[in-house]
């Protein structure tokens, strides 16, 4: 198949290039509209108790969560008649803004105690919209309120917070940070590519594949937004993976094309050989990464599903770009691929060199190298024992951001999370007054609850609000919800609200992890067996990737939970926890990219072994031919993801740092040291498999 595809690319090179360019332009024109269709939510599970409460409140009661929560600091008693008069006028002005369905405040609610600050000098005005709190339209309303009602207004000091404001702030920050990271990473990547390839013509190839994958993925994400919610965070994964895989696959393909040209083959024969060797490797490598990222779709959270959609799309299109777009371009360029020489030593590959010498050195001392490498990875992984996990809230923004300041001020001045109460619905509760009375009394005693409002009768049902003291998306809030749900309660009691929604999503993630990781392990084992014909190598690859991942997460814990290295990664608010979804994303992406490099390396080692070389020589030559590509790809990919460290959004910063660190660890300690050491220790047993299974492996 790959040989025929190479022959077709040579015969129809002009029309293939034209179709490829038109496809990119079309995808870019449509896909560019995706930016205005993304949201910052996606953390809710539709089947959870918290979602049932939300549906009850929104559909039965026709109520919704406030989109904006404005803290009005009067610097005087909020009950003072002059303060109250000005506050009522301010609320009327807010109610008249486009997109506001209603308002509710301390002054319009007859002095509700939960809406007044502890010192009595500030109070809340709650702003409701026509859409869900995390929707793009609600974020637009948040943008309006942050611009017009944050700061000195009508003699008050206002602090605008809430889902709409925070969501808009995160969306705007990510969009600006993405532009900044791309403006740095793309030019720097091109410079590094020119150095790695040694020629300007060749160095442009990865950008062609990468850009085509990114624009194609944007197009697919746009189509998906017509049917489902897609998170704004998916953009960073799309650009990072698109450029990264474009670099990986183009490096492998172009390197093999040049290698065949330098062996005296014609352009056509070089393309065909490139496709039947490197092209096959790219296909299986991409398939391995794709099935790994597909595991994200298993999670019940739309937020993680968004990353699954983005990851699968960009990987598939990177493979398509490398196998269908790149070969006809190389056929047109031909021997001019080496034009614009910058570093001549990078143009001609060698069978012997530093990497072969390193491999032979490692294989002379395999036990020592293995023990020392595992010791280093173990030390890096050790902080993971103290890791805690939570979800994104306003603290993911820079501390100087107005939305973060507003949230911090509200938490400081008010006795609890008034805007984010625990919402409790007791279906049929109106006829269970004695049970409900006992339940609310016990509820008020739960550690962390600061106020329980009297039960409100809704037909035959009851609605109870419980105000708590901790941030709703935190480990403490999760424990609180578990404590509340453990209380003996009337039959038909449902616990909802933001903290419950967070708890349900965390529990949902935990229950899905075995399925997701099982899918990754089984699918990768099968694919690697089909590719290598070995039982040992796939098992060894998974174990090494788990060790590398543990080391990465250990360093993430040390940096983002313990607050180290802010001089390197930039300042951020230390929350004492890692974002659960981002950690899972890092784990899946890193595992996929590690398998990417594993396939690159094992492909070349097996090719040399099948050609008759001994295990030691096959490893040495295979490492020499592929390690330069793997290391270069890892450095370039690290540059792409490391640019995300410039982001002011902590979750994006941690994702960039984590992926960059992981690929560097993988390309050095794992691929450069542990793989050759273990290959030497296992010897010819590396390639063992039962004869009955060998017929299922592919031919190289």
How far CA 465 is from CA of 112, 115, 505, in Å, comes to 13, 13, 21
pLDDT, mean of residues 337-362 = 66
Q: Where in the chain is the domain with CATH 1.20.1640.10?
A: 1-37+198-349
Q: How confident is the model at residue 371 (pLDDT cuts 50, 70, 90)?
A: very high
Confidence tier at 341 by pLDDT (50, 70, 90)? low
Question: What is the C-alpha to C-alpha distance for residues 473 and 511, in angstroms, rounded to an integer?
Answer: 18
How many CB atoms lie under 10 A from the CB of residue 686?
23
Sequence-distant (≥ 6) Cβ neighbours of residue 537 within 8 angstroms: 528, 602, 686, 687
End-to-end CA distance of the chain: 13
Q: What is the CA radius of gyration of the chain?
A: 29
Residue 485 binned pLDDT confidence (cut-offs 50, 70, 90): very high
Which residues, 6 or more positions from 532, have their beta carbon under 8 angstroms from its beta carbon? Answer: 538, 602, 606, 687, 697
d(CA 218, CA 164): 24
Percent of residues, the chain, with pLDDT higher than 70: 94
Is the Cβ–Cβ distance between 442 and 488 less than 8 Å?
yes
Residue 655 scores a pLDDT above 80: yes
User: Whole-number mean pLDDT of the chain?
Assistant: 84
What pLDDT score does 456 carry?
84
Q: Are the CB atoms for 31 and 224 separated by under 8 Å? A: no
User: For the residues 667-678, what does the mean pLDDT come to?
Assistant: 86
| Per-residue pLDDT, 406 | 86
The band of 481, judged by pLDDT with boundaries at 50, 70 and 90, is very high
Arch. (CATH architecture) of 60-167: 2-Layer Sandwich (3.30)
What is the distance between the alpha carbons of residues 209 and 555, in angstroms, rounded to a whole number? 32
Rounded-to-integer distance, Cα 312 and Cα 47, Å: 25
pLDDT at 387: 85
Cβ(106)–Cβ(116) under 8 Å? Answer: yes
Taking 70 as the threshold, does the pLDDT of residue 592 lie above it? yes
C-alpha 656, offset from chain centre: 9
Give the residue, 267 or 504, on which the prediction is more confident: 504
Give yes or no for a contact between 629 and 251, defined as CB atoms under 8 angstroms apart: yes
Flag whether pLDDT at 382 surpasses 90.
Answer: yes
pLDDT above 60 for 699: yes
- Calculate mean pLDDT across residues 234-244: 81
Res. 231: pLDDT tops 80: no
Report the pLDDT value the prediction gives residue 39, as an integer from 0 to 100: 67
Which CATH number is associated with domain 1-37+198-349? Answer: 1.20.1640.10
Top-confidence range, 20-24, 179-183, 341-345: 20-24
Query: Bigger pLDDT: 365 or 202?
Result: 365
Q: Where in the chain is the domain with CATH 3.30.70.330?
A: 60-167
Q: How confident is the model at residue 75 (pLDDT cuts 50, 70, 90)?
A: confident
Q: In which band, very low, low, confident or very high, does the pLDDT at 133 lie, cut at 50, 70 and 90?
A: low
- Residue 461 has a pLDDT of 86
pLDDT, one tens digit per residue, over 600-649 is 778 778 877 777 777 777 777 777 777 677 777 788 888 888 888 888 88
pLDDT tens-digit map of 522-562: 998 988 888 888 888 889 989 998 999 999 999 999 999 98
Q: Is the pLDDT of residue 671 over 90?
A: no
The answer to whether the CB of 169 falls within 8 A of the CB of 103 is no
Kindly state the average pLDDT of the residues 159-184: 82
- For the cut 80, the answer to whether the pLDDT of residue 695 exceeds it is no
Distance of alpha carbon 125 from alpha carbon 143, whole angstroms = 16
Residue 128's DSSP bridge partners are 102
Is 561 within 8 Å of 388 (Cβ atoms)? Answer: yes
Report the candidate in 66, 80, 16, 678 with the shortest Cα–Cα distance to residue 420: 66
Segment 436-453 shows an average pLDDT of 88
E-assigned strands of 441-522? Answer: 449-452, 456-458, 461-468, 493-497
pLDDT (0 to 100) of residue 380: 95
| Dist. CA 213–CA 209, nearest whole Å | 6
pLDDT of residue 131: 64
Task: For residue 165, name the pLDDT band (cuts at 50, 70, 90).
Answer: confident
Q: pLDDT per residue over 195-220, tens digit each?
A: 777 777 777 888 888 889 999 989 99
Q: What integer is the mean pLDDT of 23-43?
A: 78
pLDDT exceeds 60 at position 352: no
Percent of the chain with pLDDT over 90: 12
**What is the three-class DSSP state of 601?**
helix
Please check the confidence at residue 348 and state whether its pLDDT lies above 60: no
pLDDT band at 415 (very low <50, low <70, confident <90, very high): low
> What is the predicted pLDDT for the residue at 372?
95
The band of 383, judged by pLDDT with boundaries at 50, 70 and 90, is very high
pLDDT in the model for residue 270: 85
pLDDT at 373 (0 to 100) = 93
Range name among 36-40, 82-86, 198-202, 534-538 with the lowest pLDDT average:
36-40
Which pLDDT value is given to residue 378? 94
Is the pLDDT assigned to residue 490 strictly greater than 90? no
Q: How confident is the model at residue 135 (pLDDT cuts 50, 70, 90)?
A: low
More confident residue, 341 or 670: 670
Cβ count near 664 (within 10 Å): 17
User: What is the pLDDT, as a whole number, of residue 581?
Assistant: 83
DSSP state of 698: P
Kindly indicate whether the domain formed by 399-503 is annotated with CATH number 3.30.420. no
Q: What average pLDDT does the segment 126-151 reach?
A: 79
> Quick check: 63 and 130 in contact, CB under 8 A?
no
**Helix (H, G, I), strand (E, B), or coil: what is residue 310?**
helix
Cα–Cα distance measured from residue 363 to residue 542, given in angstroms and rounded to the nearest whole number:
21
Q: Residue 136 above 80 pLDDT?
A: no
Q: For 483-498, what is the mean pLDDT?
A: 89
Report the pLDDT value the prediction gives residue 16, as an integer from 0 to 100.
86
In this predicted structure, what is the pLDDT of residue 555? Answer: 94
User: Highest mean pLDDT: which of 15-29, 329-343, 615-629?
Assistant: 15-29
- Give the Cβ contact number of residue 134 at 10 Å: 23
Maximum mean pLDDT: which of 259-268, 343-352, 390-399: 259-268
């Amino acid at each position: 198949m790959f040989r025929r595809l190479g022959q077709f690319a040579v015969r129809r090179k002009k029309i293939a290039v034209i179709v490829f360019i038109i496809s990119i332009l079309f995808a870019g024109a449509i896909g560019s509209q995706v930016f205005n269709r993304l949201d910052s939510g996606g953390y809710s599970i539709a089947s959870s108790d918290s979602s049932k409460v939300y549906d009850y409140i929104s559909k039965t009661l026709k109520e919704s969560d406030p989109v904006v929560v404005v803290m009005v600091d009067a610097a005087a008693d909020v009950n003072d008649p002059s303060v109250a008069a000005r506050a009522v006028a301010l609320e009327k002005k807010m109610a008249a803004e486009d997109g506001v369905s209603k308002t509710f405040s301390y002054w319009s609610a007859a002095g509700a105690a939960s809406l007044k600050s502890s010192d009595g000098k500030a109070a809340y005005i709650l702003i409701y919209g026509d859409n869900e709190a995390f929707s793009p339209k609600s974020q637009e309303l948040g943008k309006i309120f942050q611009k017009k009602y944050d700061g000195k207004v009508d003699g008050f000091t206002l602090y605008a917070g809430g889902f709409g404001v925070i969501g808009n702030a995160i969306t705007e920050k990510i969009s600006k940070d993405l532009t900044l990271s791309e403006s740095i990473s793309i030019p720097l990547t091109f410079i590094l590519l020119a150095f790695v390839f040694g020629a300007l013509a060749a160095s442009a190839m990865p950008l062609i594949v990468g850009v085509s994958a990114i624009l194609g993925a944007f197009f697919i994400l746009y189509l998906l937004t017509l049917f489902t919610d897609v998170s704004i965070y998916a953009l960073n994964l799309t650009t990072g993976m698109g450029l990264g895989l474009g670099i990986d696959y183009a490096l492998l393909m172009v390197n093999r094309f040049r290698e065949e040209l330098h062996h005296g083959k014609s352009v056509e024969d070089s393309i065909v050989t490139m496709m039947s060797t490197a092209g096959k490797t790219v296909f299986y490598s991409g398939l391995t990464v794709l099935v790994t990222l597909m595991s994200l779709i298993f999670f019940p959270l739309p937020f993680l599903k968004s990353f699954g959609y983005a990851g699968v799309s960009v990987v598939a299109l990177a493979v398509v770009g490398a196998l269908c777009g790149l070969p006809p371009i190389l056929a047109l360029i031909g021997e001019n691929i080496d034009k614009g020489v910058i570093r001549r030593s990078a143009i001609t590959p060698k069978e012997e060199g530093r990497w072969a010498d390193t491999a032979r050195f490692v294989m002379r001392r395999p036990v020592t190298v293995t023990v020392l490498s595992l010791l280093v990875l173990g030390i890096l992984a050790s902080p993971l024992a103290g890791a805690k996990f939570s979800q994104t809230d306003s603290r993911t923004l820079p501390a100087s951001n107005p939305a973060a300041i507003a949230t911090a001020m509200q938490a400081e001045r008010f006795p609890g999370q008034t805007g984010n109460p625990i919402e409790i619905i007791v279906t049929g509760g109106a006829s269970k007054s004695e049970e409900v009375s006992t339940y609310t009394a016990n509820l008020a005693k739960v550690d962390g609850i600061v106020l329980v409002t009297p039960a409100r009768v809704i037909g035959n049902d009851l609605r109870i609000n419980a105000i708590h003291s901790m941030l709703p998306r935190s480990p403490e809030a999760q424990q609180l919800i578990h404590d509340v749900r453990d209380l003996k309660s009337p039959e038909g009691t449902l616990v909802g609200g933001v903290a419950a929604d967070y708890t349900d999503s965390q529990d949902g993630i935990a229950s899905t992890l075995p399925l997701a990781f099982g899918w990754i392990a089984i699918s990768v084992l099968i694919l690697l067996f089909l590719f290598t014909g070995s039982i040992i190598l796939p098992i060894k690859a998974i174990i090494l990737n788990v060790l590398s991942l543990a080391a990465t997460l250990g360093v993430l814990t040390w940096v983002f939970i313990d607050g180290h290295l802010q001089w390197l990664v930039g300042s951020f608010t230390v929350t004492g926890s890692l974002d659960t979804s981002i950690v899972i994303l890092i784990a899946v992406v890193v595992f996929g990219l590690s398998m990417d490099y594993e396939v690159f390396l094992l492909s070349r080692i097996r090719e040399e072994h099948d050609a008759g070389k001994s295990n030691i020589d096959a490893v040495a030559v295979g490492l020499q031919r592929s390690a330069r590509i793997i290391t270069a790809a890892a450095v370039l990919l690290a540059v792409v993801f490391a640019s995300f460290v410039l982001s002011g959004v902590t979750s994006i910063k941690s994702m960039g740092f984590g992926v960059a660190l992981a690929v560097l660890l993988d390309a050095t300690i794992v691929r450069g040291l542990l793989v050759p050491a273990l290959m030497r220790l296992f010897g010819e047993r590396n390639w063992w498999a039962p004869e009955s299974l060998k017929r299922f492996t592919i031919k190289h």
